[in-house]
């Protein structure tokens, strides 16, 4: 069955508050609203000024607005994910394990460019009220070319330490029968992407909403992460 996960998967600056201690704050570029996260969120996320400066220099010639807003840092909670781009906050998080032993030289740069391409693709073609982009579709490929990595792979196979978890839930499309096994049940309504594309122009429709089936303890559906 196709996996919903990949190795390629952002960051908030830390500020001090006399009432709440260390907090995370970032102003939403779309709404102007200041979003604050508590002390627990701050301890594993660290902004990297050097990587951020480097990212802005890379983006400046091709996306001026994005280059001014992008935030880059490290997330120590990452285990098998090399990097993650969160387009809604214009942020990139990287796994500190990229700097560890056994990781090829230049992997930090490669992963950074890979995730910046996701932000650039969304900056150009995504946004509120627009169609949802395929994560590694033609828009991402175009962004990769503009960032100097035209032959970039969808994932990087790196020797991160992995753990095995049992997939407890199966998402099944009531129309085409396509299914995916997951460790956790989804918190919001999600539908079969294939059916939505083929029969509803890529827009969500309740008809294609996944049925959620809880798998028994005898299930052998495992996820390596």
Q: Is residue 151 part of a domain?
A: no
Six-digit token string for 7 = 């190795």
For 72-97, the pLDDT digits (tens) are 999 988 877 888 999 989 999 999 98
Out of 102, 119, 146, a domain closes at: 146
| 138 and 92 in a common domain | yes
Q: Is residue 140 over pLDDT 80?
A: yes
How, if at all, do strands 45-47 and 83-86 pair?
Answer: unpaired
Q: Is residue 22 part of a domain?
A: yes
| 177 and 206 in a common domain | yes
pTM over 0.85: no
Q: What is the DSSP letter of 139?
A: H
Alpha-carbon distance 164 to 222, whole Å? 7
Q: Is residue 8 part of a domain?
A: no
| Contact yes or no for 119/9 (Cβ under 8 A) | no
User: φ and ψ at 32, to 5 degrees?
Assistant: 80, 0
Count of structural domains, the chain: 2
Domain that holds residue 174: 164-224
Q: Is residue 105 over pLDDT 60?
A: yes
For 1-30, the pLDDT digits (tens) are 444 334 444 333 333 333 333 444 555 443
| Contact yes or no for 195/208 (Cβ under 8 A) | yes
How, if at all, do strands 222-224 and 211-214 pair?
Answer: unpaired
């Amino acid at each position: 069955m196709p996996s919903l996960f990949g190795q390629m998967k952002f960051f908030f600056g830390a500020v001090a508050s006399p009432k709440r201690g260390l907090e995370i704050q970032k102003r939403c570029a779309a709404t102007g609203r200041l979003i604050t996260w508590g002390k627990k969120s701050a301890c594993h996320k660290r902004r990297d000024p050097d990587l951020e400066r480097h990212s802005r220099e890379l983006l400046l010639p091709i996306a001026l607005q994005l280059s001014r807003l992008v935030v880059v840092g490290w997330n120590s909670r990452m285990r098998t994910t090399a990097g993650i781009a969160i387009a809604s906050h214009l942020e990139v998080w990287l796994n500190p394990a990229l700097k560890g032993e056994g990781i090829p030289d230049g992997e930090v740069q490669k992963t950074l460019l890979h995730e910046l391409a996701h932000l650039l693709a969304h900056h150009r073609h995504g946004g509120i009220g627009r169609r949802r982009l395929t994560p590694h579709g033609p828009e991402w490929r175009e962004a990769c070319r503009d960032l100097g990595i035209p032959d970039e792979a969808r994932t990087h196979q790196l020797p991160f330490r992995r753990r095995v978890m049992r997939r407890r839930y199966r998402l099944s499309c009531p129309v085409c029968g396509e299914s995916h096994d997951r460790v956790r049940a989804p918190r919001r309504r999600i539908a079969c992407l294939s059916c939505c594309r083929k029969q509803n122009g890529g827009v969500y429709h309740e008809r294609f909403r996944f049925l959620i089936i809880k798998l028994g303890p005898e299930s052998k559906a495992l996820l390596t992460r």
